[in-house]
Every structure is written in C-alpha cells, then in structure tokens.
C-alpha cells in the first residue's frame, strides 16, 4: 500500500467555441452564443490517493475554481431564451473514488469503480444570487470473460445519477457496451466485433430553472455503434526492429571520443 498526495494550480483558458460570438440556433425560441471577453479560470486542485500494487484503490480530490467559465448562463431576449459563456461563479468540487478488481477463477477478470461527487456553485448573475449544490454517484465496470478457442467477451458500462453542471440539472445517464474477439494463428491475427451503447441510452435530458428562464433540453448523439475489425501481423516478430538494431562498427564507434 502506498500513499500519494499532490497539489496543482492551473490556469484554464477558454476554448474557441466559448469565445465564438456567432449565434447557434437550437430551435426558434432557444439559441446559444459565445463570449469573446471571457477571462481564464484559476483552479486549485488537491489530491490524496491510496494505491495497491501500483493501482489506485481509494482517492480524495478537492478543487476550488475562481472565475468559473459557465457555458450555459441563461438570459431572456424578448420571447426567446439564449445561453452564453460567462465568468460568473465560484465552484468547489469534492470527489471520493473507490476502485476494486473483479476476478472469478481463471476465466473472468476486470475492474470496477465508484465516484461520489459534490458540485457546488456560488454566483451572482443578473443581480440574482445563485447558490446550488448536488451530490451524485457514478459507477463503472469492465469485465473480460475468457472462453475456449481463444475467444474473449468484454462487457462494460456505467451509471450516473442526476447531477448538477452549472445551471443545468441533468437526468441520470447510463450505458452498456459489448465486445467479442478471437485470436488465431498463434496470436498473429485477431477479429473483433464491438457494440457500443447497446440500449441507446446515452442521450441526455436536462433543464434550466433560473429567475424567469425555464428550459428543457434533450440531446441525442451518435453513441450506438457496431464495429467489426480485423488485424493480422505479417511481419517476423523474431527480427528486431530496424531502428533498434546496431552494427558492431556502430557499437565500437560509440566508444570513441573525438574532440
């Protein structure tokens, strides 16, 4: 068992999309735009990690961010609602993490983990105080199952409870991924089939409820993918890579010092 601690102070600069002043329309009554006057965030992050066999088992992280760049600060413009990025908040984030191995006999192994996270925001926006905080839980796992004839099955996924992100309250998210692969010809070749987001569940639903602004969002993304891949190594793995080979003359030359 080993204990590691760290502290870092970072400057997080705004990205291009956050500064882009052009308007992006979500629908006829809702749109978003960037803010070219944004300032960088100042983040202070402290971590304490417990490791076993060079693997993280338990960790505590606490961060404080000043001049937080809030991506979705809501405003009313007539009958339309728009969001923009702005430096308006002070954020604190506490994270507790627990990881563990998964192993059943010789044929099933993998890992799992949990994170318990508290996000808190303190801001004054449009002359109104915004104080909000919420705990949420994230669980994730990946399990490998070894079958006869060099076939391996992989099952992975995650689940996250409702969480707070700036002015957005986002409904629970979850997903399940499957994969199967087979090696052949002394592991020179492999064929694999993967299916990401089997139940097409990684579509987020969120809402904003601040002052006179009430907005519901539903975001769909291309998260469900079926992929077939084939790999074969035609090279001779017993021959050293050319860039790693050295001749006898090169070896001797390296011993000579020429002024």
Condensed to tens digits (0 to 9), the pLDDT of residues 132-178 reads 999 999 999 999 999 998 899 999 999 999 999 988 999 999 999 99
Q: ∠ CA 165-93-125 to the nearest 5 degrees?
A: 50
Provide the mean pLDDT of the chain.
87
Q: Which one is predicted more confidently, 256 or 174?
A: 174
In the numeric block, the tokens 């070749």 are attached to 189
Q: Is residue 243 part of a domain?
A: no
Residue 254: is its pLDDT beyond 90?
A: no
Q: Is 240 domain-assigned?
A: no
17: enclosing H helix or E strand: helix 16-19
Q: How confident is the model at residue 185 (pLDDT cuts 50, 70, 90)?
A: confident
**Tally of domains within the chain:** 1
Per DSSP, the three-state class of 18 is helix
Residue 59 lies in a domain: yes
Q: Is residue 138 part of a domain?
A: yes
Does 251 score more than 60 pLDDT?
A: no
Q: Is residue 80 in a domain?
A: yes
Instruction: Among 73-82, 127-136, 239-248, name the most confident range.
Output: 127-136
Give the integer Cα–Cα distance in Å for 15 and 13.
Answer: 6
pTM for the model:
0.78
Q: What is the pLDDT of residue 107?
A: 92
Residue 23's pLDDT is 81
In the prediction, which pLDDT does 114 show?
95
Kindly state whether residue 255 falls inside one of the protein's structural domains: no
In-domain check, residue 171: yes
DSSP E strands in the chain: the ranges are 2-12, 23-27, 30-33, 41-52, 55-77, 80-104, 108-125, 128-147, 151-160, 163-165, 168-170, 173-184, 189-196, 204-210, 213-219, 225-232
Q: Which candidate, 145, 161, 228, places its Cα nearest to that of 193?
A: 228
Assigned domain for 62 exists: yes
Q: 175 lies in which domain range?
A: 2-235
């Amino acid at each position: 068992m080993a204990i590691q601690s760290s502290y870092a102070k970072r400057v997080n600069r705004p990205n291009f999309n956050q500064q882009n002043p052009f308007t992006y329309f979500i629908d006829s009554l809702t749109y978003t735009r960037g803010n070219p006057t944004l300032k960088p965030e100042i983040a202070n992050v402290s971590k304490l990690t417990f490791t076993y066999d060079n693997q993280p088992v338990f960790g505590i992280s606490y961060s404080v961010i000043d001049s937080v760049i809030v991506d979705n600060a809501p405003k009313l413009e007539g009958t339309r609602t728009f969001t923009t990025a702005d430096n308006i908040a002070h954020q604190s984030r506490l994270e507790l993490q627990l990881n563990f191995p998964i192993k059943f006999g010789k044929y099933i192994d993998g890992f799992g983990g949990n994170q318990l996270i508290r996000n808190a925001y303190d801001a004054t926006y449009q002359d109104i105080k915004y104080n909000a905080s919420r705990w949420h839980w994230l669980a994730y796992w990946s399990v490998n199952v070894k079958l006869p004839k060099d076939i391996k099955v992989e099952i992975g996924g995650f689940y996250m409870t409702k969480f707070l992100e700036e002015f957005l309250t986002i409904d629970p998210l979850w997903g399940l991924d499957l994969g199967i692969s087979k090696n052949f010809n002394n592991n020179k070749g492999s064929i694999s089939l993967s299916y990401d987001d089997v139940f097409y569940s990684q579509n987020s639903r969120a809402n904003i409820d601040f002052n006179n602004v009430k907005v519901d969002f539903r975001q769909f993304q291309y998260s469900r993918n079926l992929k077939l891949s084939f790999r074969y190594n035609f090279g001779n793995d017993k021959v050293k890579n050319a860039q790693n080979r050295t001749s006898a003359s090169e070896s001797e030359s390296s011993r000579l010092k020429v002024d």
